Structure 1
Amino acid sequence: MIAALAFYFFAAILIASAVMVVSSRNPVHSVLFLILAFFNAAALFLIAGAEFLAMILVIVYVGAVAVLFLFVVMMLDIDFARLREGFQRYAPVGAVVGAILFLELLLVLGSWTFADQSAELRLSPNPGGDVTNAMAIGRILYTDYVYLFQASGLILLVAMIGAIVLTHRKSTASRRQNIGAQVSRSGSVLLEKVPSGAGIGTLGIRRPPVAEVEKPAVTHDAGHGGHH
């Protein structure tokens, strides 16, 4: 009973969050509702007994993808008025695409049936002992499929390096210090060995003579300088 109530509670919040993701006008709010939807989906996985999928959903999607989306949306200078300008013009095309996707979902749900061995697989015993789902998946992943796991890691590494190389741009406006040219001083500074005790005269360096300031001539008034 408690598990059923928890399932309906988290499912209702998940559906409401998904609706708010596509209907919110602010992209930042959409990303926040997306994070809320991921947390509720992880709770549903925990109720279903798939704790490995719940951990992956929280660690990978909430901890990396959703946070990346949030930082990108917040750092971009988005002109919301310009984005809404072509809404009426592209609304018919969007409605047609949405109707096609809705019909495809109806066809998939209409032709979907349970497998013959689904009940037996559902009631199949656990690996045994205190082995959890995450431990069982880890044993299979790192034993039978370890090479495929390493190959997927290398593919992600190459994709990350390619993204960095494609987005890296060298700035020509910034000025950098060339330490090698600064230390070598080739052709700019003449270095000479000065003997001990030698002055500037020995090296042929003469100071320019200081020009003497001419003193004003003293004149005596003839009418006041004589004796009567």
Structure 2
Amino acid sequence: MTFAGIAFWAFAISTVTFGLMVILARNPVHSVLCLITTFISVAGLFVLMGAEYLAFLLIIVYVGAVAVLFLFVVMMLDVDFAELKSGFADYLPYGVIVGVVLLVNIGLVVAAWQLPTEDQRTQPYLTGAEMTANPEGPNNAEALGMVLYTDYIHYFQIAGMVLLVAMIGAIILTFRERKGIKKQNAGDQVARKREDAVEVVSVQTGKGI
């Protein structure tokens, strides 16, 4: 088995294993960490398929922004998970119905999937000499980057603003004002003068303060 085959099986097993752990883990923090590992494994599969741009996108956007934001919200919000799980039995029939509907839909997709015929398998593919791609030109990531930052730069900036608003919303949701806690004012401390903090008292001998 080649190195690419070993890497494929390693990433594939890791993807399936940690994907199941996302659902089976009881701790929501562990679920998010398993989700991040699943994204990284899928990114490795994209690299093996030659889709390095999708791999970078998965790492930067989903792992670096969305999954970390999920982890931040889950860890910072004071959510009572015991209270959330208390009504699990009441919604179990609805969950079973939704699961059955999803399985039926997946079964219909698999049943309608047609394998290629023998004639289609024997059709010759384009060789390297017949392809019109320029080997000296930009690669996949460079070409997509040039299009993204020229023709679609406004959409890219809008997506960045959406992520910024999501981050600010997460910070606002986790912010809790606590009463009765002394807070420092750095501006007042820096602007304080010696006359405001130090008092010189003239004490007579033998009388004390």
Residue 41 of structure 2: aligned partner: 40
Residue 2 of structure 1: aligned partner: 3
Structure 2 vs 1, CA of residues 5 and 109 (structure 1 numbering), >3 Å: closer, same or farther? same
Residue 92 of structure 1: aligned partner: 93
Residue 133 of structure 1: aligned partner: 140
Residue 157 of structure 1: aligned partner: 161
Give unmatched runs, 5+ long, in structure 2. Answer: 180-209
Structure 1 contact 10–44 (Cα < 8 Å) conserved: yes
Structure 2 vs 1, CA of residues 122 and 92 (structure 1 numbering), >3 Å: closer, same or farther? farther
1:72-221 equivalence runs, <5 A:
72-113=73-114, 124=131, 126-129=133-136, 131-143=138-150, 146=151, 148-154=152-158, 157=161, 160=164
Cα shift readout 1:159-211 (whole Å, capped 9, x = no counterpart): 8559969x699x9x9xxxxxxxxxxxxxxxxxxxxxxxxxxxxxxxxxxxxxx
Q: What is the letter of the counterpart of residue 82 of structure 1?
A: E
Residue 69 of structure 1: aligned partner: 70
Structure possessing the higher relative contact order (Cα contacts under 8 Å, 6 or more residues apart): 2
Residue 13 of structure 2: aligned partner: 12
Shift, 1:43, TM fit: 0.6
In 2, Cα distance between the equivalents of 1:58 and 1:163? 18
Structure 1 contact 10–41 (Cα < 8 Å) conserved: yes
In 1, Cα distance between the equivalents of 2:87 and 2:97? 16
TM-score by length of 1: 0.62
Residue 28 of structure 1: aligned partner: 29
Shift, 1:58, TM fit: 0.8
Structure 2 vs 1, CA of residues 94 and 69 (structure 1 numbering), >3 Å: closer, same or farther? same
Structure 2 vs 1, CA of residues 19 and 122 (structure 1 numbering), >3 Å: closer, same or farther? farther
Structure number with greater Rg is: 1
Shift, 1:141, TM fit: 3.4
Q: What is the letter of the counterpart of residue 15 of structure 2?
A: L
Moved more, 2-11 or 124-133: 124-133
Shift, 1:93, TM fit: 0.5
In 2, Cα distance between the equivalents of 1:4 and 1:12? 12
Aligned CA-pair RMSD? 3.6
Identity %: 43
Shift, 1:82, TM fit: 1.1
In 1, Cα distance between the equivalents of 2:134 and 2:5? 26
Residue 50 of structure 1: aligned partner: 51
TM-score by length of 2: 0.67
Give unmatched runs, 5+ long, in structure 1. Answer: 174-228
Q: How many residues align?
A: 170
Residue 196 of structure 1: aligned partner: none
Cα shift readout 1:52-86 (whole Å, capped 9, x = no counterpart): 11111111111111111111000111222212211
